[in-house]
Structure 1
Amino acid sequence: MFTGIVQGLAQVAAITEKPGLTSFTLAFPEGFCEGLEIGASVACDGVCLTVTALKGPNAADFDVMQQSLKLTTLAGLKQGSALNVERAAKEGAEIGGHPLSGHVDFMATLESVRKPENNHVMRIRVPAPWMRYIFAKGYIAINGASLTVAEAGREPGGAGWFEVWLIPETLRMTTFGDKQPGDALNIEIERSTQVFVDTVRDAIDERLGPLLPALEKLLAASGQSLDALAEPVKLPGRS
């Protein structure tokens, strides 16, 4: 498990192609590898990878299967590329962000960047059907960083967008300051939100059965969707 608090930036020192997988040698900041052992887990841009070899005091090897390369941004890494990294959380560790598994759900695209004073706003385009799990004020993990969704917009068909606001400290500790529109990002949705939404959708499907298509058509005519019915209720007095 990870906390979603990025602990530093690693750099791709070497890439070795092997039958059925790719091996990455990552160089870490001073002190990051203290106590690191073969078999340990490290979140690399939000992807949980296993240490396969130690390369001196500040570097390690990680093997990545073709399936993982296909589903994440790791396939686009080159020598010199930077990644957000976090060691696996120890028992009793403070959860400064929210619990992450290191299992990426999908790749999204950075649509635009705005830069108000002392802020950095990223608008991210989300493919269907993943937008159903993303709500304003909810948690989201982007390249391994736990962030709060500021605004979210759903579109017909299940796609949509959301925005996150980043402070200077977040930009300093992550790769987000270097991201440009069009770049791909690894997204892990918040698990309790996924369970809640799926449970509500299953309950609606079970109760309505054959009436469900008619309800979806009625909601669409009024500019709404079934996903909106699963949105967590905001209690009075809570932001």
Structure 2
Amino acid sequence: MFTGIVQGIATIEEVTAEPGLSTFVVRFPADRVDGVSIGASVAINGTCLTVTRQQGSSLCFDAMQETLRLTTLGGLKAGDVVNFERAARIGDEIGGHLLSGHVHTTAEIVEILRPENNVTLWFAVPDEWTRYIFPKGYIAVNGASLTIGEVRGNRFNVHLIPETLRATTFGAAHEGQRVNIEIDSQTQTIVDTLARMGYDRPAPTV
């Protein structure tokens, strides 16, 4: 379980691709791997991965074919930077919202606006996931718990303050970039329950 509060930026050192499996060597800030153990869970761009090996401040992870298919991890290469969060522990402050680290889909950054002192990112998601996206609702983008701003058809935006841009990879975001999306589990449960009762949300209009 994760909180959606990104703990820092890590760097992909090496990617080894084999049929149906990719192994990632990821370098973390040295103080962020204290006490880590083999088998621990770490969210990489919002995707829960298991530590398989440690090499100093670098951790190794395996990603299976299904993970590579559903997320953006398959496109990572050496030198890329990623958001990371180590698994939450009982008693930790929940500053964002509870996440499982199981990515539902990916989205594309379609527009970046830069008003004074903040940045607004617009995303386009596959139509089937728009039923769970509401203004002021929660969503996780590359592992960061964010509040949805506006929703227009299959597009939504988020507003990022300077601290979020500093602490995450969003400061280097660009149009056309794909990101991992985890829908808020409570919102998904409510929407699906209402749909089973016949109160389905209409399809989005552009």
Q: Same fold (TM over 0.5)?
A: yes
Secondary structure of 1:109's partner?
A: strand
In the aligned structure 2, how far is the partner of 1:112 from the partner of 1:180?
8
Structure 2 regions of 5+ residues with no counterpart?
Answer: none
User: Which residue does the alignment assign to 2:67?
Assistant: 68
Work out whether 1:77 is the aligned partner of 2:51.
Answer: no
* 1:107 alignment partner AA: T
* 1:203 alignment partner AA: M
User: Which residue does the alignment assign to 1:227?
Assistant: 201
Which is strand-richer, 1 or 2? 2
User: Alpha-carbon deviation of 1:18?
Assistant: 3.3
Deviations 1:76-115 (A, max 9, x none): 1010000000000001111000000000000011010000
Structure 1 regions of 5+ residues with no counterpart?
Answer: 155-159, 206-225, 230-239
User: Which residue does the alignment assign to 1:200?
Assistant: 194
User: Alpha-carbon deviation of 1:17?
Assistant: 2.3
* 2:144 alignment partner AA: A
The count of aligned residue pairs is: 203
Aligned-pair identity (%):
52
Q: Which has the larger radius of gyration?
A: 1
User: Which residue does the alignment assign to 2:185?
Assistant: 191
Deviations 1:212-239 (A, max 9, x none): xxxxxxxxxxxxxx4159xxxxxxxxxx
In the aligned structure 1, how far is the partner of 2:67 from the partner of 2:44?
12
The TM-score with structure 2 as length reference comes to 0.96
Work out whether 1:96 is the aligned partner of 2:99.
Answer: no
Which structure has more RCO (C-alpha within 8 Å, separation ≥ 6)?
A: 2
* 1:227 alignment partner AA: R
Deviations 1:120-157 (A, max 9, x none): 00000111110000000100000000000011122xxx
In the aligned structure 2, how far is the partner of 1:129 from the partner of 1:17?
31
User: Which residue does the alignment assign to 1:173?
Assistant: 167
Which is helix-richer, 1 or 2? 1
User: Alpha-carbon deviation of 1:19?
Assistant: 4.3
Deviations 1:6-41 (A, max 9, x none): 000010011112343110000001210000000000
User: Which residue does the alignment assign to 1:20?
Assistant: 20
Q: Which runs of 4+ in 1 moved over 2 A?
A: 17-20
* 1:85 alignment partner AA: F
In the aligned structure 1, how far is the partner of 2:186 from the partner of 2:146?
15
